[in-house]
Amino acid sequence: MKNMTSKNNSRPEQNIQTDFQKEMSYGDYLHLHKILDSQQRLSGHHDEMLFIIIHQTSELWMKLILHEVKAAISCIRNDNLEASFKMLSRVSRIQQQLIQSWNILSTLTPAEYMEFRDDLGKSSGFQSYQNRLIEFSLGNKNAHTLAVYKHDKNLFNQMQQALHEPSIYDEAVKAMFRRGLPINEQCLNRDYSEQYEPNESIELAWLEVYRNVNQYWDLYELAEKLVDIGSQQQLWRFNHVTTVERIIGHKTGTGGSSGVTYLKRALDQHFFPELWSLRTKI
């Protein structure tokens, strides 16, 4: 019986497609030739491949985060909060993937990184426009960060537009207002290009939501999804800091930033502040 099973397993499936002269293959659909030909080491050092792939895959995951957050914002704007929950759950799962990627990069030792660091020139993760767009979409706005994109007019215009658009938190606040919760008018008509500042009326509105979960279940669920994303983004930042410190210590970043010192300052920038402060008052 064992030999018969082995022979059966070795037989080829009769209907498996093998002729792709006129059909689209797996590699064609995913454009794998383009993707897998994009890891061009400048130094030839073995570990540069790790460095490139970690950052390229991170950018792909960030692209998906932006895809999901943009759709979630549209749902919230149209008062279809429940439809946004799946998207936001997916974002937090993607963030976990990005957090884990730092653990892989941390296998790169300081001595190994120094073998090819100079070949990076002035390029730096600080310049990642997708990471900046994620920060903007979550409410962390800073017009000064756009200066590094001026060399690319189209990208700079895209970043300028994103800077002035309401974040997902701004849309959540507007959703509360449409549900009859009192929100200070200046919060509803603020300059979205400015860094978000906490407001007492928004905290009181969220407190009402948390104290009356049955009445405002969808707003309550939205708040918890945002807390998930905000905390995961902080974890991503923290793992970024510790990985960078492990590899280069307190050296200046390749892009000219103060490196670890700069990254540590970012840890103080919390997302959705009223969703955290209300926990003390509930």
* Amino acid (one-letter) located at 243: T
d(CA 26, CA 6): 28
Name the strand (E) or helix (H) holding 251. Answer: none
Calpha distance 125→8 (Å, rounded): 52
Q: Is 210 annotated in some ligand binding site?
A: no
Yes or no: say if 137 and 73 are a contact pair by the CB < 8 Å rule. Answer: yes
Q: Give me 67's structure tokens.
A: 């895809």
Closest CA to 165 of 142, 191, 146, 186: 191
Residue 21 φ/ψ, nearest 5 degrees:
-65, -35
Q: Is 134 labelled a binding residue? A: no
Amino acid found at 99? I
| Amino acid identity at 111 | A
CA distance 213 to 273: 20
247 is in an annotated binding site: no
The reply, when asked if residue 29 is annotated as ligand binding, is no
Annotated ligand binding at 11? The verdict is no
DSSP 117: G
Query: Does 149 belong to an annotated binding site?
Result: no
54 among annotated binding-site residues? yes
Binding residue per annotation — 93? no
Q: Which amino acid is at 261?
A: T
Q: Which amino acid is at 115?
A: E
Could you count the other beta carbons within 10 Å of the beta carbon of residue 29?
Answer: 8
- Enter the tokens of residue 198: 């906490």
Is 57 labelled as part of a ligand binding site? Answer: no
Q: And the tokens for 153?
A: 């007019």
Are 113 and 248 in contact by the 8 Å Cβ rule? The answer is yes
249: left (phi over 0), alpha (psi -120 to 50) or beta: left
Q: Which residues are documented as binding site for substrate? A: 51-55, 113, 117, 254
Q: Which residues are documented as binding site for heme? A: 240
Q: Which residues are documented as binding site? A: 51-55, 113, 117, 240, 254
